[in-house]
Structure 1
Amino acid sequence: MEKTSSAQSGISRRSFVALSGLVGAGFALTGCSPSEQAPTEAPEGAESAGETKAFAEVKGEPLAYDAMTWSACHVNCGSRCPLKVFTKDGTVVRIDIDSDGTDEFAPGQIYQMRSCVRGRTNRQRIYSEDRIQKPLKRVEGTKRGEGKYEEITWDEAIDLIAATMQDIKDEYGNDAFYIQYGTGVLGGTVSRSWHPDATMFARLMNLWGGYLRQYADYSTGQITWEMPLFNGDAWSNNEVTDLVNSKNIVLFGNNPANTRMSGSAMQYLLTQVRLQNPEATIVVIDPHLSDTAVGVANQWIPIRPATDTALVAGMIFYLKEQGKLDEKFIRDKFVGFFSDSFADDVKAAEPASNAFMGLDKSGKLTIDQDMSYEAYLAGTGAYEDTGEKTPEWAAAITGVPADTIRQLADLYVDGPTATIQGWGPQRHSNGGNTSRAIAMIAAITGNVGISGGGTGAREGVGGVPYAIATAIPTFPEKNTVDVCVSFFDWYHAIEDYQSMNDATWGVRHIDETGATSYAEEPGTIKLKAPIKFIWNYGSNVMMGQHADINDSLRIYNLPDEKDSGVRMIVTVDPWMTPTAMVSDIILPGTTPFEEDDLTTGGTAWTGFVCCETAAIEPLFESKPVYEICTLIADKLGIKDEFTEGKTQLDWVEWCYDQGIAAGDDLPATFEEFREGGLFKQTDDHEPAVAPAPEEMATPSGKYEVFSKQAYNLSQQWDLTCGGYVPDDGRDQITGLPIWYDHFEGYGDPLRKDYPFQLIGHHGKTRTHSSYGNVPWMNSVAPQQCWINDGDAAELGIEQDDAVIVSTERGRSQMTAKVTNRIMPGVVSVPQGAWYDPESRDAATIGDPSVLDRGGCISVLTSSRPTPISKGNGVHSNLCKIEKA
């Protein structure tokens, strides 16, 4: 059953930005924003795939509808925008936005939570040709990925799933079950797909003994665990609205104009800041000139991917040489910076418990060299063969001119200067060091703990929260599986679980509260079973967000043997995604518009709660996830425990009751709450400022420029992951946040054969892979590889030419976007495009030579885990490009 593409609409592609005349390395920009025009007539193909005539009102005719209900956009951009759903004769005829409240952005004002263009196209998702209509079973004898399925009944599906679960539990125990990471239903409460531990499948499995859990996530795998090595905190930053008090704002790899672009999210807030603080200098440091840079920045500094640590070193070298750093402040608040205090600093930074990584229980991991940051800058002590880290040195690595590095450094000491890093810079093979270095330049220049400054973490968007419950109980205390793996490493537990322990793959112990801890003796926390069963709900991770699709296909098709090979993959999804096509059982799930639920959100001075009411009956034979889990629970003999006698709507009311009990200002009765649909509240709070803590959650209680935790790990861990990763020196754990020749970075010799650095970025038309099957979105911005116009000219590539991008792992075809908005030597492919292989023949499943026609970057990326977090360094890739 091959995936078929939806009918192409006739919307003409529009240019969102127009730029010309960009020269040099630090481009001066003027703020601008694209204009928005409503279509004047229905797009061609609007009748396709179950669409109805919903554009009549655009031509001046009144919209004919029977009812309006509230729903929301549940995908993973962070906004969860409320949506009005208009229906007639049981069909959705229009998706509209929240237009209630003021358009004035100010304290005490309840403003509109307007959806972006993605949310407004949900009718094409509801009536997509990709909708799964009935339960499906993989045809016996076919491989995962061939996409061959036969229809079965719900009873047959539930019986088969329950029987397989019981067999696996009897043979391996609950350690063999895994709930896949998935953020396709990030909004919602009963229907949510993330965090896996808060889903209906977690509730089901915990009541049945538990499952193998995961830590961290695909968005923040390295910053979560490695920025705290420096300051103990990966999340705190000043609220975005405080940027009105900033003299300078520096964005490292942060592009909310594409990622968080709704009418209440980060890009809206940043645009308002620009209007209210027009004198601020806004600098975007990024390999490509993003729409955020075009819209709000004064300066774009192009930088080679994953060289931010060298940039920071060059800046700090210059500031130190010029006497522009506060030495007393650094000596009081930092450890590991100066040579003369390094020995004492190391003692202060020694972990004393296994609450921290790198516990040296033996006390033998001593240091007899000067490994301070001062020595690193000077090229002395342990770094005597590396030379001085002058701006010129940094320029040779980063591609940023030395004078620009000095100017950027001066900007930091002429503040207040706010620093915000996106989650792209840490998604490289040395991304942990990058996250530490960006936080360090913010802290060491005295910009943390002040209004107008910031910590260097991702932005804090504020909001006025409701106390209403956003999850129902999942009973983690009943989970008998006491180990967890990195979100990124689950694939290896299918193939070779016995090599996975804390010192090879970062396996951690997890207690009854869900807290993780580390081993006192490296190598003692181990997996007990292979992954044999995967629940995959609201997720395209396995063939979308995860890396190296071809090798993943090999792993999915390993034979089911005692110590390896998955036995059953069950997908619950409304659409036939690429991941669905590697599943054994596919169950048709509902969209948010076909079930009752609630979602919450908000930013700045406004918060909201939306009571969602099913606008239409579930299409075909689709069922809500709660009903599906109830059917399975019944077959496993735990239905009463699972439901507690409640329907899904009962649980929505339970969530509401929690808010009322906590003092939420909401209607007195649930019936009124449900009828009202959307409720908002506001206040006039001052923008939050992340404090500079007197004592940080680090072993020393100070900023740790040199992390003894990290140094200990470098001596304790096997960075080959038990032989899985080559011992080539491209993976390093370093006490300092320094640049090194990392895996498939600028300094990798592989550039001889694969000369371009390949990164991924978020496009406007998808949230990860969500909306990837919406024709309107694809027609506005087709999948294209961004390539510098000079590089394209050398290769004979012109705008819109079909090109093939290749790495050692695979080949993907798309068209070229020839532009001066990306620096030479770098190409970027928007992440989230749906994998579409040229062949699904059994003999070629997983063959790297098979061409992907979907422009899916995950065909090209590496599954090599990062050194400390064991996360995804998928933006570090070397590739070549050729005309198709």
Structure 2
Amino acid sequence: MSNQASPKASLSRRSFLKTAGVVVGATAAVGCGSSLVAMAENAPQAAAQEEVYRGVCRPNCFGFCHLNVHVHDGKVMKTTRAPYNEACYSRICQRGLSHVQRIYDPQRLQYPMRRVDGTERGAGQWERVSWDEALSEIASKIQEIQGKYGEASVAFLTASGNQSAGVTGAYSRLLALLNASNIGPCLDMGSYYGMNAVAGTAVGPMLGYMMWNGNEPTDAKNAKTIITWGANVTDAQIQNWHLVKEAQEAGVKLVVIDPIYTQIASKADLWIPIRPGSDTLLKMGLMQIVLEREAQDVEFLKAHTVAPFLVKESDGMFLRRSDTGVAPVDTGQVDPTTQQPIMDDPFMVLAGGQLVELRDGVDPDIEGSYSLGGVNCRCAFDLLKESLQQYSLDQISSMTEIPMDTINQLADIVIDGPVYHYEGYGPQAYNNGGQTTSTGLTLCALLGNLGKPGASYGAFWGLGLAGSMGDPTYTAPNGPSTGLNIASVDLKNVVETGDFLGTPANIKMLWIYSANPLNTHTDTGAFTDIIIPAMEYVVTADSMMTDTAAYSDMVLPIAQWFELQEIANAGQCMSYNFNEKAIEPPYECKSDFDIITELAPKLGLGDYFTMTNEEALEHQFSGPLPEALGADYATLKETKQVRFIMGNAETAPYIAYEGGVFPTATGRFEFYRETVLPRVAATVQPTPEQIQAERLPHFEPPLEAWPENPLYSTYPFVLMSERPRYRVHSQWFATPLLREIDPEPIVKINPADAQKKGIGDQTYVECFNDRGAAVAKAIYSEAIRPGTLVYPKGWQLTQHKGGGWSYLSSTEYDPFIVNNNFMDVLCDIRPWEGADE
């Protein structure tokens, strides 16, 4: 590396990796900043007295990479890649290499701080307090607020910033004992809802809860083609890019469907640009072509989907034997979930036009109708075909802005399977995101492109449940909380009305952990203008002064990942991962577990928190069930990793819905749903017309980002976000090493659009709408679709020259999905009139 003042202009990949991997010596002690140049020139070697611990990097990129944490004299000197049992998951990225600077970031919170009395939240006026004073005040506020407004008035809000058993278990236990309310995450739930609606929620024999199901990424090499839908794997999911590239090198073709010419699009055999928010339409068009060509897999439809089921026009339910006058028969078995008797009441289908019970050996029709006692019934497959005619192919071509020749070319590809459809989290971040996913899965079911190697649709992320099974009462020793369960995107509505589905809801205190909702959720203004002002007390536990912490009354400095022992129980590696404690927390920082343990006696709950952190982890991962699964504490501590799904990533990758078995009520793929329910309870309720439409694939335009919206004439740009290499949402936002490479908020704009607006390259602009604004540096890019703007997500309000990105988004949501719609945003752009310095 040269000795120039700033390395940005000449920083190569080789020099970056060399610099990032260098040992940081005593000069990088707690509180000392360090630049790239200082690291390269001043770092001494300390390997002789080095200790190496196993760490798990666990942000919500969900890579959950294993790292070697190198420690000298009680300080972390560097991080390097550590091996997974499956070598394909052994990796480290620039964020993982920069942990030293994150741990010793000069901006890190050092001690508890209380907002100065009489100052406004967000004004940045703080006073240092002791831990005893901080926890005593918090306990007093909890008791005071619950005494005045009821137990449910205290609420805990969390997200996915720290997926681990110890933190989650301790907070869940405290919440249940307090009968407090839970404010649940609404992030990336469009794909979760759409996937589970038609294909079911999978919990495997190893207690792996497949929240986002799909074949393991190592299976992509078994496909003929990989199609990515809004998934910029090279940047947003770096940990999986090598798997896609290795598949390409083995001869697998890559098709990228994305409005933007992304990094992965530049590596593709075919890039198909699409209008933002129109993915569902394209999938419906592809199904029309499949049916026109009679390319559907009839045998798969008969055996593994609800295609042959008869649907009653009277109530939309499937026809069962009991509808013919024969009462259900008690099987003598009990449903382990509901503890209710299992009744035999088989579905009725047509076979050769005759009404019969659907039993083994029956070859059902998938088309046809029947009238029973004046009730007309039709095969679900006929209803699917009818729903796909909502728009003609010419209309779909026009609305998606994809030429018909290209749609037909894509149809050739999807028919010639197996195809590995890799869905990113971009297409689901619109109000219609649930249908985007469920329709994609339906396309695959139509072609029999599910349940076998190389044939998949979806994402790949799971949660291991063994820790909650060692002692199922650990997180709720006196039973579940009687408080409310409110979706975070619905919190504004609840606060404004004081009502939640007919129940009084006086939320007056928030405790926020593992989350930064003012930054990483939609509609910052909903928090700063409505939610936070309605709170009598706000606590945030974090290691940095985030946007959320800045609007709190008490900020608690927490330990970072390598400063406590923990078991990470989620991610794309599908493993329980043991994280060793490498160093003591610096300054006065404490782990979340220790904070709760010290708070509990002040609430009269001390008897429930007598274990140490290690003892609590051992308790959660002990007992017959974890031991039977090989996921007990002793095994985890020794091996550092235990897989919680079947198979082996390298030799026998996990196959979703293997053999055409689906964890649904029918045991089949349900492209038609007789029972339609929202993902969670929320104040916005679906109408009967919406429920009827939701039974089948259909297209609803985005709530805001669509040309027919009258607001389009005022705000003509779709504002989209990307997930950059240099942060994970808002994590790593201040890390000096990464900020030298990526110093400030930017917005990418097509040069033609910029010139029409009088905007120069590298000049500051203001993106704005009727909700708010954000100031950033404009970057010309031909990769950006005209009529769209793209910004990297995660910049704090203090890092903008004005405003912030989430001020422009909305908390309006689809009543079924109840999701943050990050991409469903319109805005305009203009030169910024402020000073550029």
TM-score (norm 1): 0.76
Q: Does 1:389 find its partner at 2:389?
A: no
In structure 2, do the counterparts of structure 1 residues 341 and 834 end up closer, same or farther at CA, with 3 Å as the change threshold?
same
Q: Which of residues 747, 759, 765 is equivalent to 2:720?
A: 759
Q: Which of residues 279, 290, 294 is equivalent to 1:308?
A: 279
In structure 2, do the counterparts of structure 1 residues 224 and 135 end up closer, same or farther at CA, with 3 Å as the change threshold?
same
Aligned to 2:825: 877
Q: Does 1:38 find its partner at 2:5?
A: no
- Structure 1 stretches lacking a partner, 5+ long: 1-7, 17-33, 102-107, 193-197, 356-365, 380-387, 502-525, 559-564, 838-851
Letter in 2 for 1:814: A
Partner of 2:422, secondary structure, is strand
In structure 2, do the counterparts of structure 1 residues 328 and 66 end up closer, same or farther at CA, with 3 Å as the change threshold?
closer
Could you tell me how far 1:772 is from its partner in structure 2? 0.9
Aligned to 1:618: 585
The whole-number CA distance in structure 2 between the counterparts of 1:475 and 1:9 is 56
1:498-526 deviation line (CA, Å, top 9, x unaligned): 1x32xxxxxxxxxxxxxxxxxxxxxxxx4
Letter in 1 for 2:284: A
Aligned to 1:705: 671
Partner of 1:709, secondary structure, is coil
Partner of 1:161, secondary structure, is helix
Aligned to 1:50: 32
Q: Does 1:177 find its partner at 2:173?
A: no
Q: Which of residues 592, 602, 620 is equivalent to 1:635?
A: 602
1:443-491 deviation line (CA, Å, top 9, x unaligned): 112211222211x22136999x999989993226523416422242233
Q: Which of residues 402, 405, 410 is equivalent to 1:403?
A: 405
Partner of 1:628, secondary structure, is helix
Judge conservation of contact 1:549–1:858 (CA < 8 Å) in 2: yes
Letter in 2 for 1:434: T
Q: Which of residues 284, 294, 305 is equivalent to 2:256?
A: 284
Q: Which of residues 62, 71, 75 is equivalent to 1:91?
A: 75
Could you tell me how far 1:553 is from its partner in structure 2? 0.7
The whole-number CA distance in structure 2 between the counterparts of 1:626 and 1:462 is 20
In structure 2, do the counterparts of structure 1 residues 314 and 493 end up closer, same or farther at CA, with 3 Å as the change threshold?
same
Q: Does 1:594 find its partner at 2:563?
A: yes
The whole-number CA distance in structure 2 between the counterparts of 1:470 and 1:803 is 55
Letter in 1 for 2:813: P
Could you tell me how far 1:663 is from its partner in structure 2? 6.4
Aligned to 1:324: 295
Partner of 1:419, secondary structure, is strand
In structure 2, do the counterparts of structure 1 residues 62 and 695 end up closer, same or farther at CA, with 3 Å as the change threshold?
closer
Letter in 1 for 2:496: E
Aligned to 2:190: 222
In structure 2, do the counterparts of structure 1 residues 855 and 144 end up closer, same or farther at CA, with 3 Å as the change threshold?
closer
The whole-number CA distance in structure 1 between the counterparts of 2:158 and 2:632 is 35
Could you tell me how far 1:818 is from its partner in structure 2? 1.7
Judge conservation of contact 1:319–1:325 (CA < 8 Å) in 2: yes
The whole-number CA distance in structure 2 between the counterparts of 1:556 and 1:690 is 40
Aligned to 2:788: 826
Partner of 1:86, secondary structure, is strand
Could you tell me how far 1:44 is from its partner in structure 2? 14
The whole-number CA distance in structure 1 between the counterparts of 2:115 and 2:33 is 30
1:276-301 deviation line (CA, Å, top 9, x unaligned): x22x2211111122333334x32211
The whole-number CA distance in structure 2 between the counterparts of 1:308 and 1:698 is 25
The whole-number CA distance in structure 1 between the counterparts of 2:826 and 2:231 is 22
The whole-number CA distance in structure 2 between the counterparts of 1:873 and 1:461 is 22
Judge conservation of contact 1:791–1:825 (CA < 8 Å) in 2: yes
In structure 2, do the counterparts of structure 1 residues 552 and 341 end up closer, same or farther at CA, with 3 Å as the change threshold?
closer
1:71-129 deviation line (CA, Å, top 9, x unaligned): 3323211122233333444433323332x58xxxxxx8646723211011122222223
Q: Aligned ranges for residues 490-639 of structure 1 at < 5 Å?
A: 490-498=491-499, 500-501=500-501, 526-541=502-517, 543-558=518-533, 565-599=534-568, 609-615=577-583, 617-639=584-606
The whole-number CA distance in structure 1 between the counterparts of 2:76 and 2:64 is 20
The whole-number CA distance in structure 2 between the counterparts of 1:823 and 1:731 is 34
Aligned to 1:105: none
Could you tell me how far 1:342 is from its partner in structure 2? 7.9
The whole-number CA distance in structure 2 between the counterparts of 1:434 and 1:349 is 28
Could you tell me how far 1:876 is from its partner in structure 2? 0.3
In structure 2, do the counterparts of structure 1 residues 467 and 419 end up closer, same or farther at CA, with 3 Å as the change threshold?
same
Aligned to 2:383: 372
Could you tell me how far 1:539 is from its partner in structure 2? 1.9
In structure 2, do the counterparts of structure 1 residues 737 and 9 end up closer, same or farther at CA, with 3 Å as the change threshold?
farther
Q: Does 1:802 find its partner at 2:737?
A: no
The whole-number CA distance in structure 2 between the counterparts of 1:657 and 1:597 is 15
The whole-number CA distance in structure 1 between the counterparts of 2:678 and 2:91 is 47
Judge conservation of contact 1:488–1:871 (CA < 8 Å) in 2: yes
In structure 2, do the counterparts of structure 1 residues 199 and 494 end up closer, same or farther at CA, with 3 Å as the change threshold?
farther
In structure 2, do the counterparts of structure 1 residues 863 and 170 end up closer, same or farther at CA, with 3 Å as the change threshold?
same
Partner of 1:876, secondary structure, is coil
Letter in 2 for 1:768: H
The whole-number CA distance in structure 2 between the counterparts of 1:768 and 1:774 is 13
Could you tell me how far 1:659 is from its partner in structure 2? 9.9
The whole-number CA distance in structure 2 between the counterparts of 1:862 and 1:258 is 26
The whole-number CA distance in structure 1 between the counterparts of 2:597 and 2:287 is 58
In structure 2, do the counterparts of structure 1 residues 240 and 14 end up closer, same or farther at CA, with 3 Å as the change threshold?
farther
Question: Which structure features the higher share of helix residues?
Answer: 2
The whole-number CA distance in structure 1 between the counterparts of 2:733 and 2:126 is 22
Aligned to 1:519: none
Instruction: Please identify, of 305-314 and 469-478, the stretch whose mean Cα deviation from structure 2 is larger.
Output: 469-478
Could you tell me how far 1:389 is from its partner in structure 2? 1.6
Judge conservation of contact 1:802–1:815 (CA < 8 Å) in 2: yes
Could you tell me how far 1:176 is from its partner in structure 2? 1.6
The whole-number CA distance in structure 2 between the counterparts of 1:327 and 1:226 is 23
Letter in 2 for 1:756: F
Partner of 2:92, secondary structure, is coil
Aligned to 1:512: none
Q: Aligned ranges for residues 103-502 of structure 1 at < 5 Å?
A: 110=87, 113-186=90-163, 188-190=164-166, 192=167, 198-206=168-176, 208-214=177-183, 217-233=185-201, 235-261=212-238, 265-275=239-249, 277-278=250-251, 280-295=252-267, 297-326=268-297, 330=301, 334=305, 343=313, 346-348=316-318, 372-378=383-389, 388-390=391-393, 392-454=394-456, 456-459=457-460, 473-475=474-476, 478-481=479-482, 483-498=484-499, 500-501=500-501
Instruction: Please identify, of 149-158 and 749-758, the stretch whose mean Cα deviation from structure 2 is larger.
Output: 149-158
Partner of 1:291, secondary structure, is coil
Judge conservation of contact 2:33–2:106 (CA < 8 Å) in 1: no
Could you tell me how far 1:537 is from its partner in structure 2? 1.6
In structure 2, do the counterparts of structure 1 residues 321 and 678 end up closer, same or farther at CA, with 3 Å as the change threshold?
closer
Judge conservation of contact 2:388–2:698 (CA < 8 Å) in 1: no
Partner of 1:394, secondary structure, is helix
1:136-175 deviation line (CA, Å, top 9, x unaligned): 1122222222222222222221221111111222233322
Judge conservation of contact 1:240–1:269 (CA < 8 Å) in 2: yes
The whole-number CA distance in structure 1 between the counterparts of 2:618 and 2:438 is 44
In structure 2, do the counterparts of structure 1 residues 529 and 881 end up closer, same or farther at CA, with 3 Å as the change threshold?
same
Letter in 2 for 1:590: A
In structure 2, do the counterparts of structure 1 residues 239 and 619 end up closer, same or farther at CA, with 3 Å as the change threshold?
closer
Letter in 1 for 2:172: A
Partner of 1:489, secondary structure, is helix
Aligned to 1:812: 774
The whole-number CA distance in structure 2 between the counterparts of 1:678 and 1:827 is 43
Q: Does 1:690 find its partner at 2:665?
A: no
Could you tell me how far 1:788 is from its partner in structure 2? 2.2
The whole-number CA distance in structure 2 between the counterparts of 1:736 and 1:311 is 16
Letter in 2 for 1:78: F
Aligned to 1:10: 6
TM-score (norm 2): 0.80
1:765-788 deviation line (CA, Å, top 9, x unaligned): 111100011122123234321222
In structure 2, do the counterparts of structure 1 residues 752 and 476 end up closer, same or farther at CA, with 3 Å as the change threshold?
farther
